[in-house]
Structure 1
Protein backbone atom coordinates (compact mmCIF):
# COMPACT_ATOMS: atom_id res chain seq x y z
CA UNK A 1 0.00 0.00 0.00
CA UNK A 2 1.20 3.53 -0.77
CA UNK A 3 -0.21 7.00 -0.53
CA UNK A 4 -0.33 9.65 -3.22
CA UNK A 5 -0.13 13.39 -2.76
CA UNK A 6 -3.70 14.07 -3.86
CA UNK A 7 -4.33 17.80 -3.35
CA UNK A 8 -3.09 20.95 -1.70
CA UNK A 9 -5.98 22.80 -0.06
CA UNK A 10 -5.97 26.61 -0.12
CA UNK A 11 -8.28 28.64 2.13
CA UNK A 12 -9.67 31.74 0.46
CA UNK A 13 -12.47 34.25 0.40
CA UNK A 14 -13.43 33.88 -3.27
CA UNK A 15 -12.81 30.26 -4.26
CA UNK A 16 -14.00 30.71 -7.83
CA UNK A 17 -11.77 33.72 -8.58
CA UNK A 18 -8.74 32.14 -6.89
CA UNK A 19 -9.20 28.83 -8.73
CA UNK A 20 -9.50 30.61 -12.07
CA UNK A 21 -6.41 32.70 -11.31
CA UNK A 22 -4.29 29.67 -10.43
CA UNK A 23 -5.66 27.70 -13.41
CA UNK A 24 -4.48 30.55 -15.64
CA UNK A 25 -1.09 30.73 -13.91
CA UNK A 26 -0.48 26.97 -14.19
CA UNK A 27 -2.21 26.32 -17.52
CA UNK A 28 -4.54 24.22 -15.41
CA UNK A 29 -8.01 22.86 -15.74
CA UNK A 30 -10.91 23.19 -13.33
CA UNK A 31 -12.14 19.63 -12.88
CA UNK A 32 -14.70 20.19 -10.11
CA UNK A 33 -16.59 23.23 -8.91
CA UNK A 34 -19.41 23.91 -6.48
CA UNK A 35 -20.07 26.49 -3.74
CA UNK A 36 -17.83 24.71 -1.21
CA UNK A 37 -14.76 23.82 -3.28
CA UNK A 38 -13.09 24.20 -6.64
CA UNK A 39 -10.39 21.79 -7.84
CA UNK A 40 -7.72 22.72 -10.38
CA UNK A 41 -5.31 20.24 -11.98
CA UNK A 42 -2.09 22.11 -12.92
CA UNK A 43 -1.22 21.45 -16.55
CA UNK A 44 -4.71 20.07 -17.15
CA UNK A 45 -5.81 16.50 -17.69
CA UNK A 46 -4.59 14.23 -20.48
CA UNK A 47 -6.70 14.12 -23.64
CA UNK A 48 -9.60 11.72 -23.30
CA UNK A 49 -9.41 11.66 -19.49
CA UNK A 50 -12.79 11.05 -17.88
CA UNK A 51 -12.98 12.52 -14.36
CA UNK A 52 -15.96 10.24 -13.60
CA UNK A 53 -14.34 6.96 -14.67
CA UNK A 54 -12.15 4.91 -12.31
CA UNK A 55 -8.54 4.50 -13.41
CA UNK A 56 -6.02 1.73 -12.65
CA UNK A 57 -3.90 2.19 -9.51
CA UNK A 58 -0.58 2.53 -11.33
CA UNK A 59 -1.93 5.44 -13.41
CA UNK A 60 -3.73 6.94 -10.40
CA UNK A 61 -0.46 7.09 -8.45
CA UNK A 62 1.23 9.03 -11.29
CA UNK A 63 -1.52 11.64 -11.65
CA UNK A 64 -0.57 15.22 -10.76
CA UNK A 65 -1.89 16.57 -7.46
CA UNK A 66 -4.65 19.14 -7.59
CA UNK A 67 -5.16 22.49 -5.93
CA UNK A 68 -8.44 22.68 -4.01
CA UNK A 69 -9.84 26.06 -3.04
CA UNK A 70 -12.21 26.14 -0.06
CA UNK A 71 -14.03 29.11 1.47
CA UNK A 72 -13.12 30.61 4.82
CA UNK A 73 -14.69 33.74 6.35
CA UNK A 74 -11.44 35.48 7.29
CA UNK A 75 -8.69 36.91 5.10
CA UNK A 76 -5.03 35.91 5.27
CA UNK A 77 -3.33 37.42 8.31
CA UNK A 78 0.21 36.02 8.59
CA UNK A 79 2.96 34.63 6.37
CA UNK A 80 2.18 31.20 4.89
CA UNK A 81 3.60 28.15 6.66
CA UNK A 82 3.49 26.31 3.34
CA UNK A 83 3.88 27.79 -0.13
CA UNK A 84 4.08 26.79 -3.77
CA UNK A 85 7.36 27.04 -5.69
CA UNK A 86 7.12 27.62 -9.43
CA UNK A 87 10.02 27.35 -11.87
CA UNK A 88 10.57 28.13 -15.53
CA UNK A 89 12.56 25.79 -17.75
CA UNK A 90 16.01 27.07 -18.74
CA UNK A 91 14.69 27.48 -22.30
CA UNK A 92 11.94 29.82 -21.07
CA UNK A 93 12.22 33.47 -20.08
CA UNK A 94 11.86 33.51 -16.28
CA UNK A 95 11.59 37.30 -16.09
CA UNK A 96 8.85 37.30 -18.72
CA UNK A 97 6.96 34.74 -16.63
CA UNK A 98 7.28 36.95 -13.55
CA UNK A 99 5.96 39.90 -15.57
CA UNK A 100 3.07 37.70 -16.79
CA UNK A 101 2.20 36.82 -13.17
CA UNK A 102 2.33 40.47 -12.15
CA UNK A 103 0.09 41.29 -15.10
CA UNK A 104 -2.40 38.66 -13.91
CA UNK A 105 -2.59 40.30 -10.48
CA UNK A 106 0.30 38.86 -8.47
CA UNK A 107 2.23 41.27 -6.27
CA UNK A 108 5.85 41.31 -5.10
CA UNK A 109 6.22 40.44 -1.42
CA UNK A 110 9.00 40.95 1.10
CA UNK A 111 9.12 38.09 3.59
CA UNK A 112 12.63 39.00 4.73
CA UNK A 113 14.52 37.72 1.70
CA UNK A 114 17.60 39.59 0.48
CA UNK A 115 16.76 40.12 -3.20
CA UNK A 116 20.45 40.72 -3.95
CA UNK A 117 21.42 37.27 -2.61
CA UNK A 118 18.53 34.89 -3.28
CA UNK A 119 17.80 33.07 -6.54
CA UNK A 120 14.02 33.24 -6.24
CA UNK A 121 11.34 35.91 -6.37
CA UNK A 122 8.57 36.02 -3.77
CA UNK A 123 5.12 36.95 -5.07
CA UNK A 124 1.59 36.75 -3.68
CA UNK A 125 -1.63 35.72 -5.42
CA UNK A 126 -4.64 38.10 -5.44
CA UNK A 127 -5.62 37.06 -1.89
CA UNK A 128 -2.10 37.48 -0.50
CA UNK A 129 -0.87 33.87 -0.43
CA UNK A 130 2.88 33.88 -0.98
CA UNK A 131 4.56 31.72 -3.61
CA UNK A 132 8.02 31.73 -5.17
CA UNK A 133 9.34 31.76 -8.70
CA UNK A 134 12.62 29.88 -8.48
CA UNK A 135 15.62 30.17 -10.74
CA UNK A 136 15.19 28.48 -14.12
CA UNK A 137 15.96 24.75 -14.21
CA UNK A 138 16.02 21.74 -16.46
CA UNK A 139 15.22 18.98 -13.95
Structure 2
Protein backbone atom coordinates (compact mmCIF):
# COMPACT_ATOMS: atom_id res chain seq x y z
CA UNK A 1 0.00 0.00 0.00
CA UNK A 2 1.21 3.54 -0.78
CA UNK A 3 0.15 6.75 0.95
CA UNK A 4 -0.92 9.04 -1.92
CA UNK A 5 -2.25 12.16 -0.19
CA UNK A 6 -2.83 13.62 3.24
CA UNK A 7 -6.29 15.20 3.06
CA UNK A 8 -7.13 18.30 5.06
CA UNK A 9 -10.60 19.82 5.44
CA UNK A 10 -10.65 23.49 4.48
CA UNK A 11 -12.97 26.47 4.28
CA UNK A 12 -11.01 27.79 1.30
CA UNK A 13 -8.95 25.02 -0.33
CA UNK A 14 -7.22 27.28 -2.84
CA UNK A 15 -6.00 29.85 -0.30
CA UNK A 16 -4.87 27.13 2.11
CA UNK A 17 -3.19 25.28 -0.75
CA UNK A 18 -1.34 28.47 -1.73
CA UNK A 19 -0.14 28.88 1.87
CA UNK A 20 1.20 25.33 2.03
CA UNK A 21 2.71 25.61 -1.45
CA UNK A 22 4.65 28.65 -0.19
CA UNK A 23 5.65 26.80 2.99
CA UNK A 24 6.92 23.68 1.21
CA UNK A 25 7.98 25.03 -2.18
CA UNK A 26 5.80 22.34 -3.80
CA UNK A 27 3.53 23.38 -6.70
CA UNK A 28 -0.25 23.43 -6.80
CA UNK A 29 -1.86 20.81 -9.02
CA UNK A 30 -2.32 21.58 -12.70
CA UNK A 31 -5.52 23.50 -13.21
CA UNK A 32 -6.16 24.25 -9.53
CA UNK A 33 -7.66 27.74 -9.23
CA UNK A 34 -9.58 29.99 -6.83
CA UNK A 35 -13.01 28.63 -5.93
CA UNK A 36 -12.09 24.97 -6.52
CA UNK A 37 -13.50 22.49 -3.99
CA UNK A 38 -10.32 20.39 -4.10
CA UNK A 39 -6.77 21.68 -4.38
CA UNK A 40 -3.62 19.55 -4.41
CA UNK A 41 -0.14 20.59 -3.33
CA UNK A 42 2.05 18.13 -5.23
CA UNK A 43 4.95 16.75 -3.21
CA UNK A 44 8.03 15.19 -4.77
CA UNK A 45 7.80 11.39 -4.95
CA UNK A 46 7.60 9.39 -2.75
CA UNK A 47 6.23 12.02 -0.32
CA UNK A 48 2.41 12.17 -0.22
CA UNK A 49 0.77 15.33 -1.54
CA UNK A 50 -1.41 17.63 0.54
CA UNK A 51 -5.02 17.57 -0.66
CA UNK A 52 -7.33 20.34 0.59
CA UNK A 53 -11.08 19.61 0.40
CA UNK A 54 -13.80 22.21 0.96
CA UNK A 55 -16.11 21.42 3.90
CA UNK A 56 -19.05 23.52 5.14
CA UNK A 57 -18.06 23.61 8.81
CA UNK A 58 -15.20 25.56 10.34
CA UNK A 59 -12.44 23.98 12.43
CA UNK A 60 -13.66 23.83 16.02
CA UNK A 61 -11.33 21.51 17.98
CA UNK A 62 -7.66 20.55 18.14
CA UNK A 63 -6.36 18.39 15.30
CA UNK A 64 -6.12 14.70 16.11
CA UNK A 65 -3.17 14.42 13.69
CA UNK A 66 -0.61 17.04 12.71
CA UNK A 67 2.66 17.23 10.76
CA UNK A 68 6.09 17.81 12.27
CA UNK A 69 8.32 19.71 9.84
CA UNK A 70 12.12 19.86 9.87
CA UNK A 71 13.71 22.75 7.96
CA UNK A 72 16.34 21.82 5.38
CA UNK A 73 17.63 25.25 4.35
CA UNK A 74 17.22 27.25 7.57
CA UNK A 75 17.40 26.86 11.32
CA UNK A 76 14.23 26.17 13.27
CA UNK A 77 14.03 29.78 14.43
CA UNK A 78 14.62 31.17 10.93
CA UNK A 79 11.91 28.87 9.61
CA UNK A 80 9.45 29.98 12.30
CA UNK A 81 10.08 33.62 11.33
CA UNK A 82 9.56 32.80 7.63
CA UNK A 83 6.29 31.00 8.37
CA UNK A 84 5.05 33.96 10.40
CA UNK A 85 5.56 36.20 7.36
CA UNK A 86 3.55 33.73 5.25
CA UNK A 87 0.55 33.92 7.61
CA UNK A 88 1.13 31.22 10.22
CA UNK A 89 0.86 32.02 13.93
CA UNK A 90 2.59 30.60 16.98
CA UNK A 91 0.27 28.44 19.06
CA UNK A 92 2.68 27.05 21.65
CA UNK A 93 6.41 27.63 21.98
CA UNK A 94 8.39 24.66 23.35
CA UNK A 95 11.88 26.04 22.61
CA UNK A 96 14.38 25.79 25.45
CA UNK A 97 17.10 28.40 26.12
CA UNK A 98 19.84 25.82 25.49
CA UNK A 99 18.55 24.97 21.97
CA UNK A 100 16.23 21.93 21.99
CA UNK A 101 12.49 22.08 21.52
CA UNK A 102 9.94 22.86 18.86
CA UNK A 103 7.26 25.40 18.00
CA UNK A 104 3.63 24.47 17.49
CA UNK A 105 2.13 26.75 14.86
CA UNK A 106 -1.25 27.27 13.21
CA UNK A 107 -1.84 27.67 9.49
CA UNK A 108 -4.29 30.38 8.32
CA UNK A 109 -7.29 28.11 9.03
CA UNK A 110 -6.06 27.07 12.48
CA UNK A 111 -4.59 23.64 11.68
CA UNK A 112 -1.72 22.75 14.02
CA UNK A 113 1.75 21.80 12.82
CA UNK A 114 5.17 21.75 14.49
CA UNK A 115 8.56 23.07 13.43
CA UNK A 116 11.51 21.16 14.86
CA UNK A 117 15.22 21.88 14.80
CA UNK A 118 17.04 21.20 11.52
CA UNK A 119 19.28 18.14 11.11
CA UNK A 120 22.34 20.43 11.35
CA UNK A 121 21.10 21.90 14.63
CA UNK A 122 20.42 18.47 16.10
CA UNK A 123 23.81 17.06 15.13
CA UNK A 124 25.77 20.09 16.42
- Could you say which TM-score interval applies, normalised by the shorter chain? 0.7 to 0.9
Residue 97 in structure 1 maps to residue 95 in structure 2? no
Relative distance call for 1:96 and 1:77 in structure 2 (3 A) is: same
Greater Rg by CA: 1
Q: TM-score, normalised by structure 1?
A: 0.74
Whole-Å separation in 2 of the counterparts to 1:38 and 1:114: 32
Q: TM-score, normalised by structure 2?
A: 0.82
- Per-residue CA deviation, residues 88-114 of structure 1 (Å, 9 max, x unaligned), is 23x63221111000011100113xx75
- Structure 2 equivalent of residue 18 of structure 1: 16
Whole-Å separation in 1 of the counterparts to 2:66 and 2:28: 20
- For residues 25-44 of structure 1, what are the structure 2 equivalents within 5 Å? 25-32=23-30, 33=32, 35-42=36-43
- Structure 1 equivalent of residue 105 of structure 2: 123
Residue 64 in structure 1 maps to residue 62 in structure 2? no
Q: Is the 8 A contact 2:94 2:102 kept in 1?
A: no
Give the count of matched residue pairs. Answer: 116
- For residues 81-92 of structure 1, what are the structure 2 equivalents within 5 Å? 81-89=64-72, 92=74
Instruction: Indicate the SS of the match to 2:28.
Output: strand
Unmatched runs of 5 consecutive residues or more in structure 1: 46-61
- Per-residue CA deviation, residues 30-75 of structure 1 (Å, 9 max, x unaligned), is 1242622111113xx5xxxxxxxxxxxxxxxx53210000001111
Unmatched runs of 5 consecutive residues or more in structure 2: none
- Structure 2 equivalent of residue 74 of structure 1: 57
Q: Is the 8 A contact 2:7 2:53 kept in 1?
A: yes
